[in-house]
Structure 1
Amino acid sequence: MFRSVVKQATIFNRPNWELQQWRVIRVKVRNNNLDQALFLMQRKMQSSGTERLIKLEQLHHIKNSEKRVLARKILEHKIHSQELARKLKSILIKKVRYK
């Protein structure tokens, strides 16, 4: 199972131009304050996920230790989301039963 997660992690590092979405980020520079505009742009990139996409599409070699760490994070995220889904499902079933 761990090997399949590592394979999934390596898939993210390949550029996939067909699935790539173009995202437009616009920032207004007010009062010639470029530092503030750059700060706002960085925040918008983080919140929209653009920064994550840039990091995932690295074209250089990734060490095996980094792949393992990434695979572990993906696995933990998947397990956590499944647990949350189970909890939400049980809550909804209880609400439907006691209406």
Structure 2
Amino acid sequence: MNKATSHITSLLKQPSHSLTLNSVLSSSLQQWRGIRVKVRNGNLDQALQLMQRKMQASGVERLIKQNVEHHIKNSEKRVLARKSLERRIQAQELSRKLKSILTKKVRGL
């Protein structure tokens, strides 16, 4: 979150009457979400703290963290692929079991 906050403060060179997250996020996110914080008595630090809390509550912080790109080692990729495969197989088995239970109930067996 500190990286996002520092990015926002670097974009805001001069204090304004309201901080908008819309100016920071991409155009697709602008239409989807917007957070506005009023700066009272020129207190930018308090406004940034309030905006940080609002970002955490609305889930924008998670979106920012998801879009951070970094290098993933091949061993980590293999582990992630194996875990996703196991989840998919487990979900398929569960759906197969539920389907058989429901068909037995419908047929009255």
User: TM-score with structure 1 length normalisation?
Assistant: 0.47
| Greater fraction of residues in strand | 2
TM-score, normalised to structure 2, is: 0.44
Larger RCO, structures 1/2 (Cα 8 Å, 6+ apart) = 1
